[in-house]
Amino acid sequence: MSKMLAIVALLTMGQAAPNPHLPTKTYDTVAPVLPENLNRAVLIVSKTNGWRHLEHIPHSNVVLADIARGLDRKSYVTENAAVFNDDQLRHFSVVVLNSASGDFMTPDQSAALERFVARGGGIVALHAAGDNSHTGPWYTKTIIGTKFIGHPGGPDQ
């Protein structure tokens, strides 16, 4: 009987563990406080509501900030999609979406990003930022502009 209880406990514990690659979908509503003196800076966003590339996102954020610094540009790294508002986006000249996946922006945030691009702001969409987890029509047609089908070997390849 105790063996059976141990097996049931192990199976239950194994099922209860959340997959760190699949975060709970959340939408940020409170904008971050930006540092002073950001002017034409690089905004690096790695918010995920879809597959989270744990293996490279933290490292890539550091490398991207280093590249900006090497170009004499300030950068701001965040996971908070509420930064996509007109007041805060005016501090940036380019947004780098570092494997930002899933529908991570609210409609208002997406509209603010669309206005940012219309005013001449740039976007660089890296890796998962161009996958099929995004469904907003402006994002999929303008930012991605193609159809991502998947990659062989599963999502973690």
Give 121-143 pLDDT, tens digit per residue. Answer: 999 988 766 565 656 777 777 77
* Mean pLDDT, the chain, integer: 84
- Ranges assigned E (strand) in 24-129: 41-45, 75-78, 92-98, 122-126
Of 14-18, 55-59, 60-64, 105-109, the poorest mean pLDDT is in 14-18
Please choose, from the candidates 97, 102, 156, 96, the residue with its C-alpha nearest in 3D space to the C-alpha of residue 132: 102
What is the C-alpha separation between 45 and 93, in angstroms, rounded?
Answer: 14
Averaged over 148-152, what is the pLDDT?
A: 63
> How many Cα atoms are found within 13 Å in the side-chain-facing hemisphere of 95?
30
Whether 21 and 155 have beta carbons less than 8 Å apart is answered as yes
Q: For residue 92, with 0-12 CB atoms within 10 Å meaning exposed, 13-18 middle and 19 or more buried, which class applies?
A: buried
CATH superfamily of 31-144: Class I glutamine amidotransferase (GATase) domain (3.40.50.880)
Q: Which residue in the block uniquely carries the two structure tokens 């699949």?
A: 22
